[in-house]
Structure formats: structure tokens, C-alpha cells
Amino acid sequence: MLVGVVAVDAEGFMRRLGFRRVYLVVFDLPTEYSGMELKPVKSEKGLGFLTFFRENYLEFARLRARFYYYLRGVAYRTTAGWVLVSEPDEKLHKVFGEVVKRLNELSGNSRSIDIVEAFLPVTYLRDQLAHYISELERARERLIRRFRETEDYDKAVNIAKKINRFARLIDRLRAELENLNR
């Protein structure tokens, strides 16, 4: 016999306990180093290795770079995985799907990029995000130093674009940190 039904607001309950709903990007992608061979060689300097990559290693590297470029624009790194700044959308699924599909074709593997919903402690998220922002700020400072030292115009333009991207990313992540403090 059903006596009564209690409606529970799970997200509200978890928020009161100090947790926040997040979306983690979880993946294990093949790299350009898979299928690589090392051959020992001896020289007057000692023992060394020749590295032989598969023919398509550059495509692997480009795909992984594309994936991380996009990922850094929509998520921040934590020890639990990459946390999306907002809910996953169709574009995110499309980009991740294209990358993993092509990497699997090249490697013969069946890896995946998954988006997992989880509740994590807000204090943990704040600490992890603050740490990630400080890493990005240090990387941006290194780029600024490189920009000041370079004499090649094309390189300077490329570095300036990266500096601006870092600045926009840091600003967006600081806004997310403020949102976590509410």
C-alpha cells in the first residue's frame, strides 16, 4: 500500500550540502606515439635510440591539438577530469565525435570521449579552478616574454593571438570562479 510520495529536489539538496552539478569530460585518446618503434643505436656519445613513427603521426598530433584547443575553450582541468563551464551542447558533441572517430580510424582502436554528469564539492571546484587559472596566467606571462623577445613579425603576430586567447579564457574562468563563490 502506497502511503505517500515525497518529491525530492536532488540538485537543491546537493547544493545545500555544498556540492555542485558539473559535467566531466572523460577520455583516453590514442596518441601519435602509439605504434611508434624505438631502435637502439650506439655512437661515440653512448647508447641512443632512433624513433620511428607511423606514417600518419602528424595527423594524430593535429587531431589531438584540435581536441585540446577546443577543450580548453569550454572546460577547465581538475584532478577529477576536465569540467565543462556550461552544459554540453550539440557543437561540443559534434567536435568531440569527429575527433574521436578519426583517431579511432587511424589507430584501429575504439576509444571514446564521454561527458559524465557528477556532483562535486564546491570547495574542491573553487580550489581546482583557482589553481588552473594561475597555471594559465603563468603560461600567458611566458608568452608575453616570448613576444617581447621575438624579432620575427609573423611569429610575433601568432604569439599575440595566443596571448589574447589566454586573456579571454582567463577572464571567462574568473567569471566562473565568481559564480562558484555565490
What confidence tens digit (pLDDT) does each residue in 123-159 have? 999 999 999 999 999 999 999 999 999 999 999 999 9
Q: Which residue has the higher pLDDT, 60 or 91?
A: 91
User: How confident is the model over 84-93, as pLDDT tens digits?
Assistant: 998 888 998 8
Degrees, nearest 5: CA angle 105-52-95: 30
Which pLDDT score is estimated for 53? 58
Cell matching residue 98: 569527429
What is the C-alpha end-to-end distance of the chain, expressed in Å? Answer: 43
Whether the per-residue pLDDT at 27 is higher than 80: the answer is: yes
Where residue 6 falls among pLDDT bands split at 50, 70, 90? low
Which pLDDT score is estimated for 58? 82
- Residue 147, sorted as left (phi over 0), alpha (psi -120 to 50) or beta, turns out to be alpha
Comparing C-alpha atoms, which of 118, 44, 49, 111 is closest to residue 84?
A: 118
DSSP, collapsed to helix, strand or coil, labels residue 58 as helix
Give dist(CA 98, CA 112) in Å, integer: 11
Which pLDDT score is estimated for 100? 87
Q: Which residue has the cell 573553487?
A: 126
- Estimate to the nearest angstrom the gap between the alpha carbon of 112 and the chain centroid: 15
Contacts of 110 (CB under 8 A, 6+ apart): 104
Q: What is the mean pLDDT of residues 44-65?
A: 78
Mean of pLDDT over the chain: 86
Upper half-sphere CA count for residue 145 (Cβ side, 13 Å):
6
Length of the chain: 182
Contact by Cβ (8 Å): 60, 103: yes
β 113-121/81-84 pair status: unpaired
Q: What percent of the chain has pLDDT over 90?
A: 50
Contacts of 140 (CB under 8 A, 6+ apart): 163, 166, 167, 170
